[in-house]
């Protein structure tokens, strides 16, 4: 069972138990794993209430053994993957974004009501992510891949600041460099599938498109075929029709597009755009704007919505909300959802069924690569 604090004051006084990860190294205290967070410096804002560590016990797993097994559903290069990105500088195993990333992976890989029937999950991590955190994702069957650190420095001279949790979000651009995946269906670490979302991998929701060659930037006119075939699907941000919410994206890795995105990121003319308060979201909405050379495919809020979507009677496949911190007046369908999912995954990972399935992953992987000649 998960023991939740009755009040924030009680949460602050909790004494956490030793980490339960089975590693070859001595268990470190949580304090030793927590990286300091910059507050009110260099244009980065202070921590907010939903960023405080949570008193959830990490499941007891044989990390050293499980992390050596093949990722669940992995079939080698040339196939699609679901993905999320873990960029927290808090090395604690109680970090809310660490826990929520685990819940997203669990929902995509293992939850009976939401799991994919065929696709792996990749957790992209920044170079500073703690080894224990990485190993925990590998143990539960995810692919863990490090991407380049791309810290964003807001234009403080003109009074611009951003939340410190947004400082590394431009690492998302590195997904376009992962050419061994045919496509990536990306979910933020607080975007929780409520149903099977394999449809995101299909051409109906996320078609491959041809660019508008006549609108290409001059530098891209020489070899338009390299970037002209693209996939980019998203949901409009609430209240801002020109903005695509970056919490759920379907994209096609492409080195030419990766170079284009980096060029736009470093373009001084985009300084105002990047300092709009929505750093990577603003850039992606600009590159994939509807009147540009690479117009986005826009799908409904069922694929990236807040609780209000379901409250209004509409279908909701992906809930984008900080579930661990939601508060409502009166009873609500999201009440206890985060705690219940953590309890479910903890029970499942302790079961013999999980251990045997992970062992079978290794067998299936060997058989697949032997048959395919990889």
**What pLDDT, on the 0 to 100 scale, is given for residue 37?**
40
Please write the tens of the pLDDT for every residue from 224-281. 677 799 999 999 987 777 889 999 999 999 999 999 999 987 675 655 555 555 778 8
Instruction: Count the Cβ atoms, other than its own, within 10 Å of residue 30.
Output: 18
Q: Is residue 301 pLDDT above 50, yes or no?
A: yes
CB atoms within 10 A of CB 222: 8
The confidence score (pLDDT) of residue 333 equals: 97
Fold that domain 8-372 belongs to in CATH: Spore Coat Polysaccharide Biosynthesis Protein SpsA; Chain A (3.90.550)
Least-confidence region, from 27-31, 144-148, 291-295 = 27-31
pLDDT for the residue 22: 30
State the residue for tokens 């105002």.
272
Q: Give the C-alpha distances (Å, rounded to integers) separating 282 from 175, 228, 261, 301, 368.
A: 17, 21, 12, 19, 41
Higher pLDDT, 32 or 127: 127
- Pick from 110-114, 148-152, 296-300, 368-372: least confident: 368-372
67-107 pLDDT, tens digit each: 989 999 999 899 999 999 999 989 899 999 999 999 999 99
Q: Map out the domains of the chain as residue ranges.
A: 8-372
Q: Average pLDDT of 195-219? A: 93
What local confidence, expressed as pLDDT, does residue 332 receive? Answer: 96
Calculate Rg over the CA atoms of the chain: 21
What pLDDT does residue 169 have? Answer: 81
Q: How many residues does this entry show for the chain?
A: 374
Average pLDDT of the residues of the chain:
82
What is each CA distance from 127 to 86, 90, 133, 148, in whole angstroms? 10, 13, 12, 7
At residue 366, the pLDDT reads: 73
Closest Cα partner for 59 from 22, 11, 31, 87? 22
Q: How confident is the model at residue 159 (pLDDT cuts 50, 70, 90)?
A: very low
The average pLDDT across 281-295 equals 93
Under the banding of pLDDT at 50, 70 and 90, the label for residue 330 is confident
The two three-digit tokens of residue 172, written as one number: 């998302």
180 pLDDT tier (thresholds 50, 70, 90): very high
């Amino acid at each position: 069972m998960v023991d939740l604090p009755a009040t924030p004051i009680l949460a602050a006084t909790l004494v956490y138990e030793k980490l339960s990860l089975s590693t070859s190294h001595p268990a470190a205290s949580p304090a030793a794993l927590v990286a300091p967070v910059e507050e009110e410096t260099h244009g980065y804002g202070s921590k907010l209430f939903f960023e405080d560590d949570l008193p959830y016990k990490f499941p007891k797993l044989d990390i050293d053994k499980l992390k050596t097994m093949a990722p669940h559903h992995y079939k080698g290069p040339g196939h699609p993957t679901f993905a999320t990105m873990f960029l927290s500088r808090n090395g604690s195993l109680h970090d809310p974004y660490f826990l929520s990333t685990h819940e997203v992976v669990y929902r995509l890989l293992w939850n009976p009501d939401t799991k994919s029937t065929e696709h792996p999950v990749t957790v992209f991590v920044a170079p500073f992510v703690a080894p224990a955190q990485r190993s925990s994702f590998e143990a539960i069957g995810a692919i863990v891949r490090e991407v380049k650190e791309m810290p964003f420095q807001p234009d403080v001279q003109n009074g611009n600041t951003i939340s410190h949790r947004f400082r590394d979000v431009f690492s998302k651009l590195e997904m376009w460099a992962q050419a061994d995946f045919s496509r990536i269906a990306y979910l933020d670490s607080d975007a929780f599938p409520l149903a099977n979302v394999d449809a995101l991998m299909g051409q109906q929701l996320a078609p491959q498109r041809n660019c508008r060659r006549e609108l290409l930037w001059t530098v891209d006119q020489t070899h338009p075929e390299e970037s002209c075939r693209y996939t980019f699907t998203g949901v409009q941000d609430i209240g801002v029709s020109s903005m695509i919410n970056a919490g759920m994206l379907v994209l096609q890795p492409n080195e030419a597009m990766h170079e284009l995105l980096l060029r736009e990121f470093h373009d001084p003319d985009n300084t105002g755009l990047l300092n709009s308060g929505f750093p990577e979201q603003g850039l992606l909405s600009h590159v994939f704007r509807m009147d540009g050379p690479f117009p986005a495919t826009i799908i409904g809020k069922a694929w990236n919505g807040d609780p209000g979507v379901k409250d209004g009677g509409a279908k909701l496949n992906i809930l984008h909300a900080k579930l661990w911190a939601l508060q409502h007046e009166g009873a609500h369908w999201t009440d206890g959802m985060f705690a219940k999912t953590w309890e479910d995954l903890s029970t499942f990972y302790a079961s013999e069924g999980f251990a045997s399935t992970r062992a079978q992953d290794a067998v299936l992987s060997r058989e697949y690569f032997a048959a395919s000649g990889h």
